[in-house]
Amino acid sequence: MRTTTTAVFLTASLVGSVLGQTEGQPRPVLVAEHAGLAAFASSPKDAALRGALERLPERLRELPFEVGAEREPIALAEMMLRSMSRPARMAVTYTPGEPTGGLFGYGVAVSIDHADLNTATQDHRMITRLLREGGAPLVDSADMPGLSEMDAGPGGTLIFGPRQTASGPKYQAIVGTFSDIERAFSFLPAATIADSRTLVRGRMDFEQLTPIQQTVMAMGGATVPQAREVFVQVQRRGLIGPGAMKLSFEHGVTPAASPTRALTRVVLENADRYKNGLRLPTEGLTAEDLRAVPADAVHAHVMRADLTPLIDLLDLVQTQQPMLSEALDQFRVATGVDFKYDLLDSLGGTVAGYLSDSTGGGGLGSAVLMVTFKDRARLLAAHQKLIAFANSMLASPEMLGEFHRYPRVTPWTHEGAQMFSVRFQGVPVPLEVTWAATDRWLIAGLTPQAVIGAVRQVSGKGDAGLGSVAAVAGAVKDAGGAPIYVEYTDTTRTLRDGYTLLTMTGSAIANGLRSPSDPAREPGLVVPPFQDLVKGAVPSVTLAYWRGADLTLTRSADASILVTAGSTLGLASGLLPAAAAGGFMTYGVSSREVRFDEFGRLLFPGGDGVLGVMLAGASDPGAAAVERLVGLGRAAGVSTP
């Protein structure tokens, strides 16, 4: 044990010198502050919500009399709510050459603003009383009079309590190696978003995590190959090591004008140095990429990306799970298609997904997913083999029993475009998944109509595209360069879809805060009428783009919590039609006494269908199962090596 401690001490000192840090000088790992939860509800539209939540402590104090609950947990919950509603700061630092202070040279400090020192002292009395009742060995702090301290094991000493500082009364807690809490908070970055009130800001220096790696290695991690590999991969991604990335973040709201906006900025400094390890695209989206998404999109994502990370992940899993290699080999033998080379490696460049009016009214049925080709000829050749193989399986009584009469992958054309749909001939299944291949895009949707609309859009027969939307065009212009990622939400539309659920949530909050004994405590309408809430609602636009060596992400959205929540509920409500469709499909198919147990053997792991062999039976699939797959492939005309 003594040898290990000495090694850790020497390692920490050595790492400090390697990183060019002055021994004994704390370096910020993470420093952050927020303005208090109440500040996030600063929009005039959230006034009733803010007022209602401010009455929550009053409701909590009534509960012991109604349900016989103990008062102390209620008082503790009330104290926690007060703390979360106040401005607070947190800092994590690393001090080279000082591992004896606890946490191997790291220190953590939290500081919460209080209205006055008396309130902070009352909170402290409650906390210390509960800790003492739990047997915690509390003593008065000798280094910081008026505070308490206790042993925190490897963390060293935990010191906490109320303090009067130059910036006002605080409740603070410190653990580990820490010398000057105010100096730690001085590392907070300056606000950079113009014309806004900052609600959250902070910065993280990943380089200062490097001593963790060295400490783990000194304590025996060097003898574990997996540990070494993990640290190698983490360093390749710029998350540890000399010159690692730095992350700064900021969130604020514009002044109380109409409309108010919530603005967010996140910057990954030095990300260009690690773009290969992180698989970050360097080329920006083109005007053609943005035109591929309709201007009437309700919600859309467009990004530069390929499927190489998936190939890397498969390669990594294959080294640890040989059964996956066996499954992929069996897939290749049965279908004549190499899953990684013919499929994954043939796609990528630009990926887009959206809901829009032009592809189906903006709901779930309008959903479209698109990806560009890297090698169109190779992908389509593999696609032809897979279609033949799939139809051979679907038509096989041996695989599907009585159900073999119904499902087929059917090719068809519309307006000159080659389409493919999964159809259930003679069975009222309310779903027809469809896809198409244009010169540049592979397009898939839940309905044929959605894919037809998407094909028209990429063929120049639609509207001017997402790039013509004023909010998107303005954000791209402000970025000063082509983004690698664009996300857009038409908040007015999604808020309309989510408003009913939002009002139900508002009613739940209001009813929960009303008093059965005090009629005067009336929160009123937590959610404003729809016309008031939707008026001036700001669309949400998120961009990621390169600015020099740094990767920057910006987001502009409506500042109202209620508007944002309603918009999110509107998007989520699109799942309800899917659930209903599933119910109709179950009813329609079960009315024909179709044997789902046979069909399930094909679709789900555990059977001897193709996915069952790939995912469940790869370790010991059995010669019969492999022979069946190969036989089906040959029946489909697939050449199997």
Q: Tens digit of pLDDT for each residue in 157-194?
A: 899 999 999 889 999 999 988 878 888 898 999 998 98
Q: Above 90 in pLDDT, residue 374? A: yes
Distance CA 272, CA 265 (A): 18
Is a pLDDT exceeding 50 seen at residue 375? yes
Q: In the chain, what is the straight-line distance between the N-terminal and C-terminal CA atoms, in Å?
A: 59
Does residue 286 have a pLDDT over 60? yes
Residue of 417, 3, 526 whose CA lies nearest to 220: 3
> What pLDDT is stored for residue 6 in this prediction?
39
**Residue 616: is its pLDDT beyond 80?**
no
Q: What is the pLDDT confidence band of residue 23, given thresholds at 50, 70 and 90?
A: low
Most confident listed range (222-226, 311-315, 345-349) = 345-349
Tokens linked to 296: 């009437």
DSSP annotation of 270 reads T
**Which residues are CB-neighbours of 268 under 8 A, at least 6 positions away?**
245, 246, 247, 550, 551, 552
Cα–Cα distance, 511 to 492 (Å, whole number): 27
Confidence of residue 576 (pLDDT cuts 50, 70, 90): low
Structure tokens at 45: 């539209």
595 vs 398: CA distance, rounded Å: 13
Q: pLDDT > 70: what percent of the chain?
A: 83
When pLDDT is averaged across residues 105-134 and rounded to a whole number, the result is 92
Q: Report pLDDT for 143.
A: 81
| The predicted structure's pLDDT at residue 99 | 61
Average pLDDT over residues 603-624: 40
- pLDDT at residue 14, as a whole number: 37
Between residues 380 and 576, which one has the greater pLDDT? Answer: 380
The reported pLDDT for the residue numbered 121 is 93
- Residues 594 and 616: their CA atoms lie apart, in Å, by 25
Indicate the pLDDT class of residue 213, thresholds 50, 70 and 90: confident
Q: Which of 195, 15, 92, 45 is nearest to 499 (CA)?
A: 45
What confidence tens digit (pLDDT) does each residue in 47-71 have?
A: 999 999 988 988 888 888 887 767 7
The DSSP letter of residue 529 is P
296 pLDDT band, cuts 50/70/90, is very high
Query: How much is the pLDDT for 581?
Result: 52
Higher-confidence residue: 269 or 255? 269
| Model confidence pTM above 0.75 | yes
pLDDT of residue 476: 96
Q: What is the pLDDT of residues 227-238, one digit of tens each?
A: 777 888 888 889
What confidence score (pLDDT) does residue 399 get?
81
Q: For 147-156, 163-172, 295-304, 407-416, which range has the lowest pLDDT when averaged over its residues?
A: 147-156
Residues 6+ apart with CB under 8 A from 601: 399, 607, 608, 609, 612
Over residues 524-533, mean pLDDT: 96
Residue with the bigger pLDDT between 20 and 306: it is 306
- The reported pLDDT for the residue numbered 587 is 46
pLDDT in tens, 66-87: 877 677 788 888 889 888 899 9
Asked if residue 296 lies in contact with residue 358, where contact means CB atoms within 8 angstroms, the answer is yes
* C-alpha distances in Å from residue 360, one per residue of 115, 126, 255, 294, 447: 54, 58, 38, 12, 9
In this predicted structure, what is the pLDDT of residue 382? 97
Distant-in-sequence, close-in-space partners of 3: CB < 8 Å, separation ≥ 6: none
The single-letter code of the amino acid at 639 is: S
Per-residue pLDDT, 320? 79
Of all residues in the chain, the percent with pLDDT exceeding 90 is 57
Element (H, E) at 172: strand 168-176
Angle between the 322-335 and 623-635 helix axes, to the nearest 10 degrees?
30
For 596-608, what is the mean pLDDT?
Answer: 39
CA 208 to chain CA centroid, nearest Å: 25
How do strand 157-165 and strand 148-151 relate by DSSP bridges?
antiparallel
Residues 6+ apart with CB under 8 A from 608: 601, 617, 621, 622, 624, 625, 628
Give residues with Cβ within 8 angstroms of 322, minimum separation 6.
none
